[in-house]
Structure 1
Amino acid sequence: MKKVLIDAMFKHIQYGGVAVRYWDGEEVHYGDTEPHFKIIFNKKPPLMTATIEDPTITLGEFYMDEIIDYEGSLDELISIMEMNKLLNSDTQHLANKWMTAAKSGLGSVADKFKQRQNIHAHYDLGNDFFSLWLDKTMCYSCAYFKKQDDDLHLAQLQKIDLILKKLRLQPGMQLLDIGCGWGWLILRAAKQYGVRALGITLSEEQYAGARKRVEEAGLSDQVTVKLSNYLEIDPAQYQFDRIVSVGMFEHVGRDYFASYMKKVHDLLNFGGISMLHTLTNLREVETNAWAKKYIFPGGCIPALREIISLFPDYDFRVWHMESLRRHYVKTLELWYENFHQHIDEISGMFDKRFIRMWTLYLQGAAAILRTGNLDVYQILFSKGVNNELPITLNDIYVD
């Protein structure tokens, strides 16, 4: 690849400052301020290695392939890319309803097969892999830190307990967990609150792990785990008092935001409560090309207003919203530490390109959250008006 092509890509940086040291020793500063972030070319990129039109995928692949390294904080690069509109692809603001009549139901067989493939690409990397750097709950979502020195395991338990408290569970209630992961939430809900729980996942590895946990806990008569698409849950067969989804909505895809809401509406009893725990973007943008190709194929992180704008169509009433952005930054930092503490074992499972890819993913996600381009919200809402709920949430934050 000729230097002139790469130079043309970096010349899109008009605000902020980035230094680039090329493979021939030349160093060029781009932007309008003194650079605090430097990209270092270890070697000349091969011809046609990536598309220069999208810097996220170009720089991501350069890093994975050891063509480049960097000096400085990724927060600085993320901020500069955001200032120069290089981080995401902007889309037009969307109307309240995206769905055609054909997509408002279960979706096509091809769509559901693609969803399963997308989940398989990320979550079925192996329980042995995830267990090395997640805590023993195997919660792969934002933890909740009451104190700065809380360890990861305690913070994940606190996150689960926070969710269960917000749901106001009572013995005998029916709980659905859409995207149940390895099942810790539904197990804790059954043990602590005496509910009957159904967890569903598209990941075969998570399904096997969650079922094993249920059996080992002796809760098979109270907790069920299904390998299923949430759209396939039949409202004629199932009705729930509470529905929760943690870190799953990002995988639905923009075309199916409304389908998700309709399914929750159809499965939730009137007055019932649901929680959506999801990453959010500040604006309606597409997931950057590198993350979509290598980390979360088919994923789409919604803007908060995209979610809320759908609620009136399904008689959903917001009860409470809470940002956990800084909690997720700390979670990712601890995951990254754990990942590198077990780098020898991971190197025995995957090649160096994969390791550099996951390093960039964990560090990059934390940087995007720190700079405020991403957030994570817990949105609590009821189907219809519920005047039986407590008038405040004070008790939820008291041990």
Structure 2
Amino acid sequence: MTSTPTAGKLSIADALDSLLKEPLPVRFTAYDGSATGPADSPYEIQLTNERGLNYILTAPGDLGFGRAYVAGDLEIKGVHPGDPYEAFKLIQGKLAFRRPGPADVVKVLRSLGIQHLRPVAPPPEESPSRLRRTFEGLRHSLGRDAEAIHHHYDVSNRFYELVLGPSMTYTCAVFPREDATLEEAQATKYELVARKLDLKSGQRLLDLGCGWGGMVRHAAREYGVHTIGVTLSREQASWAQEKIKEEGLDHLAEVRFLDYRLVEETGFDAISSIGLTEHIGVKNYPSYFGFIRDHLRPQGRLLNHCITRPHNRRQATGEFLDRYVFPDGELTGSGRIITEVQNVGLEVQHEENIRIHYAKTLAGWCRNLAENWDECVAEVGEGIARVWGLYMAGSRIGFERNEIQLHHVLATKTTDEGVSGYPLRHEFGV
């Protein structure tokens, strides 16, 4: 299966084999002519040039492979780059490297060439490391959070339209049926949030991290609720405001390009946080939920929708996600979130895990990216399009395998006398 070494040296495929705990489940070929893995595999990983090898050797793990893939130095044959899920599902969890001894390291480096340990410039789509970003501003300061959101969300509104679909909703959908469309599922999600918050005409809703204003418009259009949405993405705010005017909702709805910490209004009947908690940092949960408590009226409600870990330890995202997708992103478990919500004095009334729905949501986004690949590449470049295919397919597998979850936490600002305004039983049909 593996090519024969020349003059006692290891080929690239030999070197890969020597570092793996078990045989590669797919075919691997390299620019030096070597190969390993099953010849009849429907998928083939191709290392096309020396720069790709430099990326892999100078940043072992997901960052090095990610750099090579984004740059086009590592190709995956047999799948579309917009939706490499099937190949990833076969590889992920089985591509396990053993810890090499000193002699193994020396042999590999002598065979492949010490020059491949010389760092090369990363793809332009990469953001600086956590350490370098720290010198440019404290984590989760107003400026650094704004830059992190800009990196991911101000790519191109047209690109997001192609990937997310007409709903322009970049958070987990809720599928009412197995065969429901992505649009149906996103509408169902907004309706579920509205019902959990018990929205009624004339009330006031604050939507934190509102994206392109999907929840803002749903609450205004379907419930007659006066809604303010805030986002750190200038592009999102601009798109959302245009959509609000187009739908004739500007007497009820508004989206501001604003950090949530700068919202001055208080006394909201409800606050929704759909996909923002992942960005604020676990150490900032007390101040975040304290802000929400202080901006709710007595008996007001919070719905927190957040990607979580299946454990309650504080854990940053991996290097690839941190550099290419969610700078400064940080996740923990629903237990930690519930604890912090309770610690600021809010009363938790209900929580649920809808992780399987996120796997289905990501499948829909990958399908859209693949179907609109040429236009997406024309809009943002192949590197960014590859980042999205890579991270969404990998995330889908993470949700399917219970490595990450998605939790709703519903809470009330219960009065000192114990009055929550919550009914005897839930009225949102779960």
TM range (shorter): 0.7 to 0.9
Distance 1:271 1:9, change over 3 A: farther
Aligned match of 2:428? 396
Over alpha carbons, which structure has the higher Rg? 2
Equivalent residue letter for 1:336: C
Question: Which one of the candidate residues 318, 335, 356 is aligned to 2:365?
Answer: 335
Q: Are 1:226 and 2:234 an aligned pair?
A: no
TM superposition shift of 1:274: 0.3
For residues 305 and 98 of structure 2, the distance between their equivalents in structure 1, rounded to whole angstroms, comes to: 30
Paired residue for 2:290, among 262, 267, 271? 262
Residue in structure 2 matched with residue 350 of structure 1 by the alignment: 380
Amino acid at match of 1:78: Q
Q: Residue 54 of structure 1 contacts residue 289 of structure 1 at CA under 8 Å; is this kept in 2?
A: no
CA distance change for structure 1 residues 249 and 127 in 2, over 3 Å: closer, same or farther?
Answer: same
Given the alignment, which residue of 235, 254, 266 partners 1:238?
266
Per the alignment, residue 186 of structure 1 pairs with 216
Structural mapping, 1:51-90, within 5 Å: 52=58, 54-70=60-76, 73-80=87-94
Query: For the Cα contact (< 8 Å) 1:175–1:198, is it kept in 2?
Result: yes
**Alpha-carbon shift at residue 25 of structure 1 (Å):** 4.2
Q: CA deviation at 1:185?
A: 1.2
Separation in structure 1 between the aligned mates of residue 306 and residue 190 of structure 2, nearest angstrom: 14
1:383: which partner in 2?
413
SS state of the match for residue 93, structure 2?
A: helix
TM-score, with structure 2 as normaliser: 0.77
Q: Could you tell me how far apart the structure 2 residues matched to 1:131 and 1:186 are?
A: 18
**What is the correspondence of 1:29-108 to structure 2 with a 5 Å cutoff?**
39-45=45-51, 48-49=54-55, 52=58, 54-70=60-76, 73-80=87-94
Per the alignment, residue 131 of structure 1 pairs with 161
Task: Report the CA distance shift for 1:80/1:36 in structure 2 as closer, same or farther (over 3 A).
Answer: farther
Which amino acid in 2 is paired with 1:390? P
* Residue pair 2:17, 2:36 contacting (<8 A) in 1 also: no
Instruction: Decide whether the 8 Å contact of 1:242 with 1:274 is kept in 2.
Output: yes
SS state of the match for residue 155, structure 1? helix
The TM-score normalised by the length of structure 1 is 0.82
Distance change in 2, residues 1:7/1:262 (3 Å)? farther
Using the TM superposition, give the Cα deviation of residue 41 of structure 1 relative to its aligned residue in structure 2, in angstroms. 2.4
**How far does residue 109 in structure 1 lie from its aligned partner after superposition?**
11
Q: Once the 2 structures are TM-superposed, how far is the Cα of residue 184 of structure 1 from its aligned partner?
A: 2.2
**2:154 touches 2:235 (CA, 8 Å); kept in 1?**
yes
Q: Tell me how far apart the structure 2 counterparts of residues 147 and 359 of structure 1 sit (CA, whole Å).
A: 25
1:49 CA drift (Å): 2.6
Q: Which amino acid aligns with 2:424?
A: I
Partner SS for 1:79: coil
Is contact 1:210–1:225 with CA below 8 Å preserved after alignment?
yes
Structure 1 stretch 57-66 or stretch 254-263: which is displaced more? Answer: 254-263
* Residues 256-295 of structure 1: pairs in structure 2 closer than 5 A: 256-283=284-311, 284=313, 285-295=315-325
Shift of 1:335: 1.0
Say yes or no: does 1:247 pair with 2:275: yes
Partner Cα separation in structure 1 for residue 282 and residue 16 of structure 2: 29
Contact 2:204 / 2:270 at 8 angstroms: preserved in 1?
yes
Offset at 1:76?
3.8
Amino acid in the other structure paired with 1:161: E
Per-residue deviation at 1:258? Answer: 2.3
Residue equivalent to 1:112: 142
Q: How many residues align?
A: 369
Q: Quick one: distance in 1 between partners of 2:48 and 2:375?
A: 27
Pairwise mapping of residues 145-164 of structure 1 onto structure 2 (< 5 A)? 145-164=175-194
Note the aligned Cα RMSD (angstroms): 3.1
In the alignment, which residue of structure 2 is the partner of 1:102? none
The residue number in structure 2 matching 1:24 is 32
Give the AA of the match of 2:55: T
Q: How many Å separate the matches in 2 of 1:170 and 1:160?
A: 14
Report the Cα offset of residue 82 of structure 1. Answer: 8.8
**AA at the equivalent of 1:252:** I
Partner Cα distance (2:294, 2:23) in 1: 49
Q: Which runs of 5+ in 1 are unaligned?
A: 30-34, 86-106
For residues 314 and 184 of structure 1, the distance between their equivalents in structure 2, rounded to whole angstroms, comes to: 28
Could you tell which deviates more after superposition, 42-51 or 330-339? 42-51
Displacement of 1:46 in angstroms is 5.2
Aligned match for 2:241, one of 182, 201, 211 = 211
Contiguous gaps of at least 5 residues in structure 2: 1-8, 79-85, 100-136
